[in-house]
Structure 1
């Protein structure tokens, strides 16, 4: 074979593959976003989070390594060491959204809410790490309120930092129910790539045929409040007081405290302002999607988290399924106790796996369009 022919083969362009990349997940939690990438055959080499209670679930379900570290103090050298040598880098993450929570902002003066960027240091730290290691592809997921808070300053700062590093940035507000998650959950999803724009895949749910609460949890065996199912320790709801038991019994499917006799009302319900809180003590509907899962998703008084039919709030397992975690996802390390509140926080904070899959597929489609020499 002539030298010219050898050179021709040597210079032939090849499609870039998912296996060419190594992924690191910042603020990984128990692995909702990571699991979406795993399902799409990406290799997630590491998850980093300050909440050490997430270690078991993250590692057990994702064949990845959990690092208990503070994102605000991790160095670029330390972050690079988490990637597989020789692989191209993808950095993803969901900076905790508590600073943007409506509940966390109640009673706080507007001047105090907008005067300090200290609250946003995790997102700024994310941008610092992107600046320093320049992964080829990034994705950031957060709450939509980020676009409006302080006139969008924090979000605009984040985008400007990326664009200065020659990333093509795309973003949009998506609803997880459009991607097979049995839950209304609007999120901000941002992509950045050195190679061109990444577009989120089209909605996988058409004609409003969303996955319903019944489809997600209707197959589970019934349980009493406060009692674990013998074959699944996660299938357990909080024990109700006698008064709250009467309240849930008086609540119809899809209903709330307005179904009750006035003798069951709380003092706040008797005030004009309290009449606007229609979701608290509410039951879900079988043939609808669930409300947004929060860190208080197993509390009857914290939202529309009542089971559609059984006289209790939803169980931890039901919350996990509504977050689209697989039914065999392990949260509790054998022979180790963990409080229900901790697990509820882990589940409520997670990126729904179905949304993680959509993000991973979007990046996969982008990679398939790339070529290398």
Structure 2
């Protein structure tokens, strides 16, 4: 049965009104994608009565920025461009003309967010793992913090970023040292998103930096993030089994004949893992691809959603009780995107799959910044009470 949290968040077809009064919360989102990180902090801001303002969001992919603009129309600037075009100086160097212009236009940034491209860090990328030039983009986030001087910085990536080295030193350690020198308290953790209420087994590395003179610290935030009971697949998509497929986002992916037979076999025999004899020849010996061609279970979270969720040959993406892979709507729900989030700028099924699979679940920033904002608000209230008492 769908619980009240799902009804409150995922099933919403219209976005809650953006608070018009109160203090603004100004954010910059770099490597923004379609806006998963922004959506989470928007939810946290609304819960705390703050008015989200977005002076700048940047991503290299035009389709991603189109989706971002669609969902955050109040953004001041959403740019399709390389992030390094806005933050092009070396760490510790004087600000460049481009950086001075960016800082002047963005101004008074509270939170800097970013998920630099992770292909170079991912253990799925066997050919260029840990030597990919994209890994250096991680440090563009640190340079952006140096230029914008936000109150807080969050950098999101895959856990394998901890193994990456840049100029002989780990990029995470280098980021930590430089942010510390800039006056931030810094902590980093590998976060299991199923503990934050996301119905999939996904892990992300988070580096969180908060100004030393702020009312809280990254360690205090991480320690206080509320943990949820594990939510299963039925919680996320149980109401979508036979949904009307006139909307492209609800259209079932068309499987090849061989895969249709495989899925029907799993249903007919109440199995969740395909026997080797029915797999492609390359997987009929000893292999570690058990989840491929597998069927999902209602009472467990999904595996990590990738852009391949529409094909059972890409992972355990078969629906628990239908001979098909997941729809885009189901994948978006599993990622934690509410029904009001609009992916309509995506012109094809492949584009839709890429957009959803590459997105960051919003629960990540909703949980972290919901905690951060609550702690800083509590501290401000305590200071106000002390001032009133002393007065």
Match 1:217 to one of 198, 217, 237 = 237
Give the structure 2 partner of residue 191 of structure 1: 208
Give the structure 1 partner of residue 352 of structure 2: 343
Question: What secondary structure is seen at the aligned counterpart in 2 of 1:55?
Answer: helix
Question: What secondary structure is seen at the aligned counterpart in 2 of 1:189?
Answer: strand
Give the structure 1 partner of residue 319 of structure 2: 307
Could you list the runs of 5+ residues in structure 2 that have no partner in the other structure?
Answer: 1-20, 46-50, 87-97
Q: Are the counterparts in 1 of residues 135 and 164 from structure 2 also a CA contact under 8 Å?
A: no
Check 1:250–1:78 CA distance in 2 against 1; reply closer, same or farther (3 A cut). farther
Q: How far is 1:270 from its partner?
A: 2.0
Give the structure 2 partner of residue 102 of structure 1: 123
Alpha-carbon distance between aligned partners in 1 of 2:78 and 2:322, rounded to the nearest angstrom: 37
Q: Are the counterparts in 2 of residues 178 and 203 from structure 1 also a CA contact under 8 Å?
A: no
Check 1:297–1:21 CA distance in 2 against 1; reply closer, same or farther (3 A cut). same
Alpha-carbon distance between aligned partners in 1 of 2:116 and 2:285, rounded to the nearest angstrom: 37
Q: How far is 1:214 from its partner?
A: 0.7
Alpha-carbon distance between aligned partners in 2 of 1:245 and 1:163, rounded to the nearest angstrom: 55
Could you list the runs of 5+ residues in structure 1 that have no partner in the other structure?
Answer: 1-16
Q: Quick check: 1:80 aligned with 2:103? A: yes
Alpha-carbon distance between aligned partners in 2 of 1:212 and 1:18, rounded to the nearest angstrom: 37
Question: What secondary structure is seen at the aligned counterpart in 2 of 1:124?
Answer: helix
Alpha-carbon distance between aligned partners in 2 of 1:254 and 1:36, rounded to the nearest angstrom: 36
Q: Are the counterparts in 1 of residues 30 and 114 from structure 2 also a CA contact under 8 Å?
A: yes
Q: Are the counterparts in 2 of residues 171 and 189 from structure 1 also a CA contact under 8 Å?
A: yes
Give the structure 2 partner of residue 9 of structure 1: none
Question: What secondary structure is seen at the aligned counterpart in 2 of 1:296?
Answer: coil
Alpha-carbon distance between aligned partners in 1 of 2:129 and 2:299, rounded to the nearest angstrom: 39
Question: What secondary structure is seen at the aligned counterpart in 1 of 2:70?
Answer: helix
Check 1:308–1:165 CA distance in 2 against 1; reply closer, same or farther (3 A cut). same
Give the structure 1 partner of residue 328 of structure 2: 316
Q: Quick check: 1:161 aligned with 2:192? A: no
Deviates more, 1:38-47 or 1:363-372: 363-372
Question: What secondary structure is seen at the aligned counterpart in 1 of 2:307?
Answer: coil
Give the structure 2 partner of residue 268 of structure 1: 282
Give the structure 2 partner of residue 247 of structure 1: 262
Q: How far is 1:77 from its partner?
A: 2.9
Give the structure 1 partner of residue 222 of structure 2: 200
Q: Are the counterparts in 2 of residues 131 and 165 from structure 1 also a CA contact under 8 Å?
A: yes
Q: How far is 1:97 from its partner?
A: 1.2
Q: Quick check: 1:233 aligned with 2:248? A: yes
Alpha-carbon distance between aligned partners in 2 of 1:95 and 1:239, rounded to the nearest angstrom: 32
Question: What secondary structure is seen at the aligned counterpart in 2 of 1:234?
Answer: helix
TM-score (norm 1): 0.82
Check 1:88–1:269 CA distance in 2 against 1; reply closer, same or farther (3 A cut). closer
Check 1:256–1:20 CA distance in 2 against 1; reply closer, same or farther (3 A cut). same
Per-residue displacement from partner, 1:91-116 (whole Å, max 9, x unpaired)? Answer: 111112111122212xx3xxx755x4
Question: What secondary structure is seen at the aligned counterpart in 2 of 1:35?
Answer: helix
Per-residue displacement from partner, 1:125-182 (whole Å, max 9, x unpaired)? Answer: 1122222222221111111111123497111111111111111001211111111111
Check 1:160–1:203 CA distance in 2 against 1; reply closer, same or farther (3 A cut). closer
Per-residue displacement from partner, 1:5-31 (whole Å, max 9, x unpaired)? Answer: xxxxxxxxxxxx982531111111111
Check 1:117–1:55 CA distance in 2 against 1; reply closer, same or farther (3 A cut). closer
Match 1:136 to one of 151, 158, 162 = 151
Q: How far is 1:366 from its partner?
A: 4.2
Give the structure 1 partner of residue 48 of structure 2: none
Question: What secondary structure is seen at the aligned counterpart in 2 of 1:169?
Answer: strand
Alpha-carbon distance between aligned partners in 1 of 2:245 and 2:224, rounded to the nearest angstrom: 38
In the TM superposition, structure 1's runs of 4+ consecutive aligned residues that sit over 6 Å from their partners are none
Check 1:298–1:38 CA distance in 2 against 1; reply closer, same or farther (3 A cut). same
Alignment of 1:32-111 (within 5 A): 32-41=36-45, 42-45=51-54, 46-62=56-72, 63-64=74-75, 65-74=77-86, 75-83=98-106, 85=107, 87-105=108-126, 108=127
Match 2:190 to one of 173, 177, 194 = 173
Per-residue displacement from partner, 1:267-300 (whole Å, max 9, x unpaired)? Answer: 112222x2x2101011111011111111222221
Give the structure 1 partner of residue 361 of structure 2: 352
Give the structure 1 partner of residue 199 of structure 2: 182
Per-residue displacement from partner, 1:194-217 (whole Å, max 9, x unpaired)? Answer: 1252222645445xx322111111
Aligned length: 334
